[in-house]
Structure 1
């Protein structure tokens, strides 16, 4: 077979605010690959089917001299994130051509993966009748984040009240449903009426649009809060600190107000961590997801999703060339559901 184009998305420039399509990232079709002859060196060759656009990728668009929990993208090289791919050729025992994997891959049409370490990749069992793209959402990193964070840190008790921010996203909507399964009252916020309707549909008792409704007023009326699941930070976190119940648990999963605005935040209610004996748990899922929790996740969650007991929705964008615009939409909160790029059909 002659060489074919291996299109990719290159990290081109470090943004100072929101990532700019065509400047921060550039779609490139200058490279080719010989699918039959390219050396695998003991690894696998995969065809990328779906890629996930997650908020945390913004933190990797930085100067490499700035330390963080994940490496910075390298100028001139493809960006990378979670993806689903089909194995075309394999030199790894037990991994056959035609199988499907989910894990960290480069944003390009074809990838050579040197190994499939279990802490970085999952070989998909297709016995559950769900779309492959779901392994980037409810059955992938976002689902693991919700499942693990809730199990480890919520200490939830029936009758308590939880407040979930970004409640229409893949993590937040999962947390809402976990909280309802545990018997909690759930308050949830998002940034559009469509998202508010979705949060109600998955069980939120109080769902509101933070852009048109005062968060602090809602929390004063519907609280106090026992469990706070945070994706936002900033004023919303400060409002949660004011309205927390003594002994409340704060689960810090993300702070998107800081991702594109490196300036400092001012908190009026930070002293409540002490005066209300609050527990604050910040976490990165890859640090916390041990083998036991990973096994429990795959034993429990795929069946919950395939049976409809856990609801999930996604927003699929066609073509690798759409990546820059999708990145920007996710950072601005303009996506209506989990943002996924369909790179190729499964043929």
Structure 2
């Protein structure tokens, strides 16, 4: 077979605000690959099938001198995130041709790598409602974020009240379901009426569109809250601080309100942290990797059986990945954002 194009989604420029396809991220087909003859040097030839688009990717599109929990992306190189690939050729006895493997991959169609070079490489399979794309969402890093973070920090008691921001996102929707399973009253917020309906379908008791209804008004009526799962920060965090019980647990999982250069909200209620003796946990999933084995067994079975529900927003084609990245930053996706790089 003659060499074919190995399409890549390259990081080209640091954005000031929202990342724009064609400017900050560019699809490129200049690289060729000979699938039959490319040297493997004891490694694997992988065909990337699915890639995950997550809000935190914007955090890596920064000046390298700025600190972050992960290194900044390198200008001129592909973006990188969780994905699922299929082994096309192998010189590694642990992985045979045809095997599906999840891991952290560059945003390109084909990859030659040593197994040790791919973070989190592990075999995966389809099972019931557990699709390949689910392994980058509800059964992947976002799912692990929700499951392990809830188990580690929430300390839920039946009858308590939890407030979940971005409740229609992959992480938020799982937290809603975990909280309901633990017997809690769940308040969920999202940015569209369609997402409000989705949160209802996940089992949330009180749902609202924060673009139409003030967070403060909802929490005054439906609170006080005992647990706050926060993915956005800003006004929602401020309102939660003013409307929580003593010894409330705040799980700070993300700050989407400040990822894209938006004007920072001026916090007014930080004094309640000590007044209410709030237990506030900043939380990065990398710190809970030792908890993954339980997630991959116990939670994966709940997904496969259909007990845990999920929704996906699938973008077809790596060339459209830049648009998917902008869409999720603007909060316009409906479900877990996934790029279908190839048929799976």
TM-score by length of structure 1 reads 0.96
Aligned residue number for residue 303 of structure 1 = 301
Which whole-Å deviations, capped at 9, do the CAs of 1:205-227 have from their partners, x for residues lacking one? 00111011111000000000100
Deviates more, 1:72-81 or 1:149-158: 72-81
Cα distance change of structure 1 residues 119 and 78 upon mapping to structure 2, 3 Å threshold: closer
1:113 shift after superposition: 2.5
Task: Kindly report the root-mean-square deviation, in angstroms, between the aligned alpha carbons of the 2 structures.
Answer: 1.4
Deviates more, 1:336-345 or 1:246-255: 336-345
Q: How does 1:46-65 map to 2 (within 5 A)?
A: 46-65=46-65
Q: What SS does structure 2 have at the residue aligned with 1:71?
A: coil
- Checking the alignment, whether the CA contact within 8 Å between 1:164 and 1:187 is kept in structure 2 is yes
Aligned residue number for residue 144 of structure 1 = 144
Aligned residue number for residue 42 of structure 1 = 42
Cα distance change of structure 1 residues 117 and 162 upon mapping to structure 2, 3 Å threshold: farther
Q: What SS does structure 1 have at the residue aligned with 2:171?
A: helix
- Checking the alignment, whether the CA contact within 8 Å between 1:128 and 1:303 is kept in structure 2 is no
1:246 aligns with 2:246: yes
Aligned residue number for residue 106 of structure 1 = 106
Please list every run of 5 or more consecutive structure 2 residues that lacks an aligned counterpart in the other structure: none
Aligned residue number for residue 338 of structure 1 = 336
Q: How does 1:227-242 map to 2 (within 5 A)?
A: 227-242=227-242
Which whole-Å deviations, capped at 9, do the CAs of 1:210-259 have from their partners, x for residues lacking one? 01111100000000010000001001100000001100000000000110
1:119 shift after superposition: 6.0
Q: How does 1:16-95 map to 2 (within 5 A)?
A: 16-95=16-95
Deviates more, 1:309-318 or 1:35-44: 35-44
Q: What SS does structure 2 have at the residue aligned with 1:300?
A: helix
Aligned residue number for residue 325 of structure 2 = 327
Please list every run of 5 or more consecutive structure 1 residues that lacks an aligned counterpart in the other structure: none
Q: What SS does structure 1 have at the residue aligned with 2:115?
A: coil
1:263 shift after superposition: 5.2
- Checking the alignment, whether the CA contact within 8 Å between 2:55 and 2:328 is kept in structure 1 is yes
Aligned residue number for residue 154 of structure 2 = 154
1:295 shift after superposition: 1.3
Distance in 2, Cα, partners of 1:170 & 1:42: 36
- Checking the alignment, whether the CA contact within 8 Å between 1:150 and 1:175 is kept in structure 2 is yes
- Checking the alignment, whether the CA contact within 8 Å between 2:162 and 2:184 is kept in structure 1 is yes
1:90 shift after superposition: 1.6
- Checking the alignment, whether the CA contact within 8 Å between 1:128 and 1:302 is kept in structure 2 is no
Distance in 2, Cα, partners of 1:280 & 1:94: 42
1:118 shift after superposition: 9.0
Distance in 1, Cα, partners of 2:3 & 2:201: 48
1:117 shift after superposition: 7.2
Distance in 2, Cα, partners of 1:26 & 1:127: 35
Q: What SS does structure 2 have at the residue aligned with 1:289?
A: helix
Q: How does 1:168-207 map to 2 (within 5 A)?
A: 168-207=168-207
Cα distance change of structure 1 residues 199 and 264 upon mapping to structure 2, 3 Å threshold: closer
Cα distance change of structure 1 residues 213 and 185 upon mapping to structure 2, 3 Å threshold: same
1:336 shift after superposition: 1.1
Which whole-Å deviations, capped at 9, do the CAs of 1:82-123 have from their partners, x for residues lacking one? 111101112222211100111110110001232257962221
Distance in 2, Cα, partners of 1:98 & 1:303: 23
Q: How does 1:114-129 map to 2 (within 5 A)?
A: 114-116=114-116, 120-129=120-129
Q: Across the two proteins, how many residue pairs are aligned to each other?
A: 344
1:218 aligns with 2:218: yes
